[in-house]
Structure 1
């Protein structure tokens, strides 16, 4: 008997979350790319607005689009951390380059770990694991580079802009792939697979 493909941990509308995260990244990416003044203050304002909007999106959409309680909890924490980081960055937008490095590094490390862990948990499932791993690694790598590179605001703000461009390009592709792949998986699912065995649950993951 053919083995049934593991079901997804995400609902049919989860692709809109990925596209929404990409749209949120587009405007700050454009602002940084076409602004000659890569100051720490600009970086804090742009990061604060981006993190606040991204966190709000995850908090509002996670419970509706994620089908497993652990995943909902992980992305709820992701959203809360992002909103806190965004509020702090906007409130202390004159905090200077050191504060910009600190807030973005901590945010990237925490949210990157959450997405990497979420991706590892569902690595046997077909759809969300790769997307979560890529975005998680992107955030963790941003934090690592902030710690390793020379403390130059032009470099740091430019690097954050490059991270936003990565999200703006990768997430729409991931979201649309998720949307188009779901009907194909439904059509190719084995007919003799019982519905009771296909519901995703935490016991299938780490």
Structure 2
């Protein structure tokens, strides 16, 4: 059978690609926004609430990443998405164990996840940038931001506690380490939601990768 023309392969690859990188970005932005809203409008920033929100965010995001590994990523480039998805889902599962939720668990779990996930996504983004991948910049930013989340939480003393009185409210309030930590995670989720939301809605040229062309040509042969 004669080889297919490049233009024909590109059009076929584009036609069969139902899910794209933008769909992954928008799905991640949605779940990050949901986490940010829940933390922002919940006055209780305890470890139980923080871990509950983190667990839901991590589980949903991890599933999106694993699905993207097969529906979006070309063959040979799925390992980072799979690793990121597995790490995120495992962190979400641990955070979902209600019987062991504590202040210590929140800081240890979220910091460990942020370091692992951040490094994986940052390295994947740097490698993708060398290949000229259009989504590489987004991966580099989110990876670096996730590492910064870990650094920010490392700077918070979990045992910190400060009582203060607001005259206008006529009440005494307490600022604690866990409330600061949950707030930092909420801010992180908000930034992720805005950045990936903008990236997902931004127009970009439809470009078929070399893997897409090779895979399509092989299937047609």
TM interval, short-chain normalised? 0.7 to 0.9
Q: Distance in 1 between matches of 2:75 and 2:200?
A: 19
Verify: 1:162 aligned to 2:162, yes or no: no
- Between the aligned partners of 1:37 and 1:126, the Cα distance in structure 2 is 42
Compare relative contact order (CA 8 Å, sep 6+) and give the higher one, 1 or 2.
Answer: 1
> Match for residue 38 of structure 1?
45
| The structure with more radius of gyration | 2
Deviation of 1:176 (Å):
2.0
Q: Identify unmatched segments of 5+ residues in structure 1.
A: 1-10, 187-194, 202-206
Q: Answer whether contact 1:29 1:162 (CA < 8 A) is retained.
A: yes
Do the aligned partners of 2:68 and 2:81 also contact (CA within 8 Å) in 1?
A: no
Runs of 4+ in structure 1 over 2 Å off: 92-95
1:63 Cα shift?
A: 1.4
Cα offset, 1:92, TM superposition: 4.0
Equivalents in 2 of 1:60, 1:122: separation in Å?
19
TM-score, normalised relative to structure 1:
0.80
Identify which range, 30-39 or 85-94, moves more after superposition. Answer: 85-94
User: Among 165, 168, 176, which residue is 2:201 paired with?
Assistant: 176
Q: CA RMSD in A?
A: 1.9
| Gap change, CA 1:54 and 1:37, over 3 Å in 2 | same
Structure 2 partner of 1:105: 111
- Segments of structure 2 that go 5 or more residues without pairing to the other structure are 1-16, 159-176, 213-221
Partner of 2:45, secondary structure, is coil
Distance 2:46 2:205 in 1: 43
8 A contact 2:21–2:135 mirrored in 1: no
Partner of 1:61: 68
Question: What do the CA deviations read for 1:143-181 (whole angstroms, capped 9, x no partner)?
Answer: 11111222201100000000110111000111222xx11
Shift, 1:69, TM fit:
1.5
TM-score, normalization by structure 2: 0.75
Once residues 117 and 200 of structure 1 are traced to their aligned partners in structure 2, the CA distance between those partners, rounded to angstroms, is 20
- 1:52 has 2:59 as partner: yes
